[in-house]
Amino acid sequence: MRIFDPHIHMTSRTTDDYARMAAAGVRALVEPAFWLGQPRTNPGSFTDYFDSLIGWEPYRAAQFGIVHHATIALNPKEANDPRCRPVLDLLPRYLDKDRVVAVGEIGYDSMTPEEDDAFERQLALAVEHELPALVHTPHRDKAHGTRRTLEVVAASGIDPGRVAVDHLNEVTVGIVRESGCWMGFSIYPETKMSPPRMVEILREHGPERMLVNSAADWGHSDPLLTLETAQAMLAAGFTEDDVDRVLWRNPVEFYGQSGRLDLTPAGAGEETFAGSSIKRGGS
Ligand SMILES: [Zn+2]
């Protein structure tokens, strides 16, 4: 079984996690830029973080044979902080980097006017840079937040087939499916979506445009819940091909729209870490 985790925050995880993920079949992942818990106080704090997402973290992943790509954005929560908003002007240079496969995570946290503005501006950046967009939906008042998210996406003019709306559940999956956007599900240990619930959603809505991720970060989360979902699918009668589609081919198709997904097995190009860039030997 091969697994592509389309949303996981490895910066917050240990090398033990990388080893366990590699053993579980995780061969590729995408790490979206997000909120670190501790508020950032200036744009430089973001640029150091972005540099690590495209430099240090891919190098760390490669030690375990895992291919690492990133998405870059000002996250919804910090879009409210005037100390952080100037980072919006620094995004274009990151959105041109080789390993950046989408704009994200963008979207809503508390649905403030500041979040509206950052969301709209970053969807425009996605269009301008011909990148897909990864959109976070709020954990509170999810149905309302998801409806509003879809309105903003539609108004932006971005092709819905280039947008993944994430952290969905039984209540929000239907409207996102109708919109033509991709549907992301974050499988968590206790709260929100679980492997058995995910299997039911796949049974009802089919595998098309479905993305399953662990969204593992600094909170209570588990990078192996992608594997557990795959196993739950098999136990429920889904075929190996269904599992491969949801856990591998779907994320490859979605992020492949960036034109930058390079799934050459990590280590094959003798990657070495040099400052903030990966230098590839050979081709
Ligand atoms: Zn996240």
Would the pLDDT of 205 be above 70? yes
Looking only at the bridges linking them, the beta strands covering 163-166 and 133-136 are parallel
Average pLDDT value for residue range 81-89: 97
pLDDT band, very low/low/confident/very high, at 278 (cuts 50, 70, 90): very low
Q: How far apart are CA 91 and CA 97, in angstroms?
A: 10
How many Å lie between the centroid of ligand 1 and the Cα of residue 283?
Answer: 33
Q: In terms of Cα–Cα distance, which of 142, 148, 195 is closest to 173?
A: 142
Single-letter code of the amino acid located at 23: A
Would the pLDDT of 271 be above 90? no
Q: Which pLDDT belongs to residue 280?
A: 41
- Count how many residues are written for the chain: 283
Looking only at the bridges linking them, the beta strands covering 67-72 and 100-107 are parallel
How many Å lie between the centroid of ligand 1 and the Cα of residue 75?
Answer: 9
Would the pLDDT of 20 be above 70? yes
Range of the domain at 27: 3-279
pLDDT band, very low/low/confident/very high, at 268 (cuts 50, 70, 90): low
Q: Which pLDDT belongs to residue 139?
A: 83
Would the pLDDT of 270 be above 50? no
Q: What is the pTM of this model?
A: 0.93
pLDDT band, very low/low/confident/very high, at 179 (cuts 50, 70, 90): very high
Would the pLDDT of 110 be above 50? yes
Phi, psi at 42, each rounded to 5°: -165, 160
How many Å lie between the centroid of ligand 1 and the Cα of residue 32?
Answer: 6
Which of 61-65, 85-89, 138-142, 171-175 is predicted with the least confidence, judged by mean pLDDT? Answer: 138-142
Task: Supply 256's token pair.
Answer: 């492949």
Per-residue pLDDT of 117-136, as tens digits, reads: 999 999 999 999 999 999 99
pLDDT band, very low/low/confident/very high, at 218 (cuts 50, 70, 90): very high
How many Å lie between the centroid of ligand 1 and the Cα of residue 281?
Answer: 32
Count of structural domains within the chain: 1
pLDDT band, very low/low/confident/very high, at 140 (cuts 50, 70, 90): confident
How many Å lie between the centroid of ligand 1 and the Cα of residue 147?
Answer: 20
How many Å lie between the centroid of ligand 1 and the Cα of residue 157?
Answer: 24
Which of 1-15, 68-82, 186-200, 216-230 is predicted with the least confidence, judged by mean pLDDT? Answer: 186-200
Q: How far apart are CA 49 and CA 169, in angstroms?
A: 30
Q: Which pLDDT belongs to residue 267?
A: 60
Who surrounds ion ligand 1 at CB < 5 A?
34, 215
How many Å lie between the centroid of ligand 1 and the Cα of residue 186?
Answer: 9
Kindly report the average pLDDT of the chain as a whole number: 94
How many Å lie between the centroid of ligand 1 and the Cα of residue 105?
Answer: 7
Is 175 strand, coil or helix? helix
How many Å lie between the centroid of ligand 1 and the Cα of residue 31?
Answer: 8
Q: What is the CA radius of gyration of the chain?
A: 18
Element (H, E) at 198: helix 195-205
How many Å lie between the centroid of ligand 1 and the Cα of residue 1?
Answer: 24
How many Å lie between the centroid of ligand 1 and the Cα of residue 7?
Answer: 6
Would the pLDDT of 102 be above 60? yes
Would the pLDDT of 246 be above 60? yes
Q: Which pLDDT belongs to residue 272?
A: 54
How many Å lie between the centroid of ligand 1 and the Cα of residue 271?
Answer: 26
How many Å lie between the centroid of ligand 1 and the Cα of residue 256?
Answer: 20
Would the pLDDT of 165 be above 90? yes
Whether a cis peptide bond, with omega within 30° of 0, leads into 120 is no
CA distances from 95 to 37, 131, 149 (A): 24, 8, 22
Would the pLDDT of 279 be above 50? no
How many Å lie between the centroid of ligand 1 and the Cα of residue 106?
Answer: 10
Q: In terms of Cα–Cα distance, which of 235, 271, 233, 192 is closest to 3?
A: 233
More confidently predicted of 157 and 275: 157
> CATH no. for residue 255?
3.20.20.140
How many Å lie between the centroid of ligand 1 and the Cα of residue 222?
Answer: 13
How many Å lie between the centroid of ligand 1 and the Cα of residue 239?
Answer: 29
Would the pLDDT of 75 be above 60? yes
Single-letter code of the amino acid located at 274: A
Looking only at the bridges linking them, the beta strands covering 277-279 and 272-274 are antiparallel
Q: How far apart are CA 123 and CA 107, in angstroms?
A: 9
Is 232 strand, coil or helix? helix
